[in-house]
Amino acid sequence: MAYLFANIAANIPMTLCLLFGALLLVAEVFLPGFGLPGIAGIVFVAVGVVLAWLTFGPLVAVAVLLVLIAVLAVLVTWVVNAASEGKGRYCRIFLKEKDELHINQDMEVLVGRTGIATSVLRPAGIADFDGVRLNVVTEGGFADQGAHVQVVRVEGARIVVRPVKVQ
């Protein structure tokens, strides 16, 4: 029995390094850029693999590394899928396509409306539509400041206008 506890106690540093490194690598998925958690996670995993190599040999160390990579891949995939479907506390980090559709549908009401270019459109600029200033782009030509423009189409967040003559 004493041998079992001694064996478990001898492997605690290796287990903790692998576990803590894996947790830091999962945390890195949700943090912007490649920073301290990612580097520290890689270092902890490397130390854990080296400890496994020294304790059990190279074959076990490679097996531990492969199992850890597989578990991390499954865990990260599961967390990202759960977050993108709106489950869990990290669902706010993903932009939903249905929200983009609502924005596009809201902007579609502008098609056919006329406004005044408040800046020179070369071809992009700003136009005023009943007191609402919007970034617009012409179909390819230029329009002077003060020219009347009409919304031709909406392509996502891009509002395409055409200069028109006022009667």
For residue range 69-124, what is the model confidence (pLDDT) as tens digits?
Answer: 998 888 888 877 776 666 555 555 555 554 444 455 677 888 999 999 999 998 89
Pairing of strands 158-163, 132-138: parallel
Coil, strand or helix at 159: strand
7 and 88 within one domain: yes
142-155: pLDDT as tens digits: 899 999 999 999 88
Mean pLDDT of 44-69: 91
Cα(124)–Cα(121) distance, rounded to whole angstroms? 5
Cα(39)–Cα(43) distance, rounded to whole angstroms? 6
Q: Is 55 exposed, middle or buried (0-12, 13-18, 19+ CB in 10 A)?
A: middle
Q: What is the DSSP string of 77-135?
A: HHHHHHHHTT-STTGGGS--HHHHHHHHHHHGGGTT-EEEESS-BSSEEEEEETTEEEE
84 and 12 within one domain: yes
pLDDT value of residue 1:
57
Q: What is the pTM of this model?
A: 0.49
104 and 158 within one domain: yes
Coil, strand or helix at 52: helix
129 and 68 within one domain: no
62 and 12 within one domain: yes
Q: Lowest mean pLDDT of 42-46, 49-53, 107-111, name the range.
A: 107-111
Q: End of a domain among 62, 93, 124? A: 93
6 and 81 within one domain: yes
Structural domain boundaries enclosing 128: 99-163
Coil, strand or helix at 167: coil
Cα(83)–Cα(73) distance, rounded to whole angstroms? 15
